[in-house]
Amino acid sequence: PAFTHQFNSDLFKGSTTVNTGLFINGKFVDSVDGATLDVYDPSTGKVITKVAAGSAKDVDLAVQAAKTAFKNSWGLKVPGQERCRLLSKLADLIEKNVDELSALEALDAGKPFLQAKTMDMVSVIGSIRYFAGWADKNSGKTIETTEAKFAYTRHEPIGVCGLIVPWNFPLMLASWKIGPALATGNTIVLKPAEVTPLTALRLAELVAEAGIPAGVFNVVPGVGSVAGQALTEHKDVGKVSFTGSTLIGRKIMETAAKTNLKRITLELGGKSAGIIFDDADLEQAIKWAAGGIFVHSGQVCAASSRIFVQEGIYDKFVEIFKGAAQSFKRGDNFDASVNQGPLVSQTQLERVLAYIESGKQEGAKLEVGGARTGSAGYFVEPTIFTNVKPEMKIVREEIFGPVAVIVKFKTEEEVIELANDTVYGLSSSIFTQNLNCALRVAHSLEAGSAYINQASIPDFAVAFGGVKQSGFGKDLGEYALESYTQVKAVHINL
Ligand code: NAD
């Protein structure tokens, strides 16, 4: 079975056809028990298609295909130059089909087409190409221990990697794992999120078209507690790279420990701080801070959901920031002027509205927003709370929606304390003209990244990942290679 859709907007006119089976060993197949998942358009709330949903048996078939491919047609069998060539070809094919993939992502994940194209897909193409470049450069070292002895290290692939990703940037977050995993010689079973499987399935066709051997790349959509759990439990999976909530991350770590001690990378939730000092370029800080929390309706792991503003500019900031929040335009994701899409699902809609209600109940001041808009789709207004207290749920917990809390601070020391008062540690951003202050704060924050005078926008050449309960291991940059390889030391006695 396949899903065909005709797009008819000025931004993209064309049709797409996505095979809706499981992609195992180079072929699309039905799930063994015939189970399916409904796929919704979050802009309308309507079911647009169904895809096959993998069971534990399907996951096992995919893992066995990946294990065989690792031994026979990838892994150490294929030189780095060849992996580089094939991954570069894949990046070219994604680029060639960028409009279709952006349109599919807009439809499935509910993001404005232009954002999908200029943010998500730029990062997808860039990261696959970046890691293609590493495929023949990830060498070990030679160590001379004594005159008669030396050793060398090899960066060997782990084997079969289970990649489990969420729905907020479906193809982009998958590509951050696919790139380093394949470049270093591993094979893959990818499990997309329940609600956003379409671009992963379309990618599978491009992987085959690029000439990457069957079994190297498999896709098994399915329910997290079934297909995701089976992948995490599987004894032939050597590594699970997971992006998602801290709750499920904890489960994955437990399962990995109980089964075969598989390696794990956990990219988890966040409650990141945006810190704006009195001397910041206010216009730029407002622009970035608004983008940092309201783009993609706040469904961004590194969103600046806690905004700390120094007292000298606090009133002015809040006033202008309210205007910035109200200027977001919701509507048809294929309209070039629309820059805020819906939340991804009914579940997320209810979750975000419940947090807004809890903010009001706990006595925070609702400055703007706070409501669902329209009756179809899952749209929520950009929402700002002030007068918040550190113990409130809207300050402590990840909302994953377009909801910002603003906190007034006096001194640098005070804001470092406040910003670090969270179990999370994913990202942070700092706005000031004072470089000394910016660097002092960047070095004092308990976060995996600090961005100075910009919002959190990862670059595929730079390590990305959290500290504290935002997880561990890196997805991007040279450091990601370590997450997908194991070092073997070979000692020689001359
Ligand atoms: P989630 O944890 O509910 O699901 C993530 C993935 O895990 C999905 O594919 C899901 O099917 C799967 N899953 C669910 N239960 C499982 C289980 N028992 N075993 C194995 N897999 C299972 O998260 P979500 O709601 O899809 O995504 C939102 C969360 O992701 C937020 O907390 C957000 O901060 C986080 N996130 C983090 C990053 C990052 O890089 N740190 C990036 C994006 C999103």
Q: By three-state DSSP, how is residue 474 classified?
A: coil
Q: State the DSSP code for 296.
A: G
Reported ipTM exceeds the 0.85 cut? yes
Ligand 1 center to residue 311 CA distance, Å?
37
- The verdict on the CB of residue 168 being under 6 Å from ligand 1 is yes
pLDDT single digits (tens) 80-120? 999 999 999 999 999 999 999 999 999 999 999 999 999 99
Nearest CA to ligand 1 atom 34: 269
Residue 375 has pLDDT above 90, yes or no: no
Nearest CA to ligand 1 atom 23: 244
Position 463 confidence tier, pLDDT thresholds 50, 70, 90? very high
How many C-beta neighbours within 10 Å does residue 161 have? 30
Whether the Cβ atoms of residue 155 and residue 481 lie closer than 8 Å to each other: yes
Query: 3-state secondary structure string, 102-122?
Result: HHHHHHHHCCCHHHHHHHHHH
Exposure string of 115-135, with b = 16+ CB inside 10 Å and e = fewer, is: bbbebbbebbbbbbbbbbebb
- The token duo for 390 is 């550190």
Ligand 1 center to residue 29 CA distance, Å?
25
Whether 267 is catalytic is: yes
**Among 194, 267, 381, 398, the one annotated catalytic:** 267
Alpha-carbon gap, residue 374 to 260, rounded angstroms: 49
Which atom of ligand 1 lies at the shortest distance from residue 348's CA? Answer: 25
pLDDT single digits (tens) 236-250? 999 999 999 999 999
- The verdict on the CB of residue 87 being under 6 Å from ligand 1 is no
Ligand 1 center to residue 107 CA distance, Å?
20
Q: Which residue type is seen at 220? A: V
Nearest CA to ligand 1 atom 11: 224
Residues forming beta bridges with residue 373, ordered by sequence position: 379
Ligand 1 center to residue 162 CA distance, Å?
14
Nearest CA to ligand 1 atom 22: 224
- The verdict on the CB of residue 301 being under 6 Å from ligand 1 is yes
Whether the Cβ atoms of residue 70 and residue 245 lie closer than 8 Å to each other: no
What is the chain's mean pLDDT, rounded? 97
Which atom of ligand 1 lies at the shortest distance from residue 223's CA? Answer: 11
pLDDT single digits (tens) 322-374? 999 999 999 999 999 999 999 999 999 999 999 999 999 999 999 999 999 99
Q: Name which of 419, 403, 424 is nearest 268 in CA terms.
A: 424
Q: How far are the Cα atoms of 115, 250, 398, 484 from residue 105, in angstroms, in the given order?
A: 10, 28, 24, 27
- Which of 111, 120, 164 should be mutated for ligand 1, with most atoms under 8 A from CB? 164
E strand or H helix at 287: helix 282-294
pLDDT single digits (tens) 30-65? 999 999 999 999 999 999 999 999 999 999 999 999
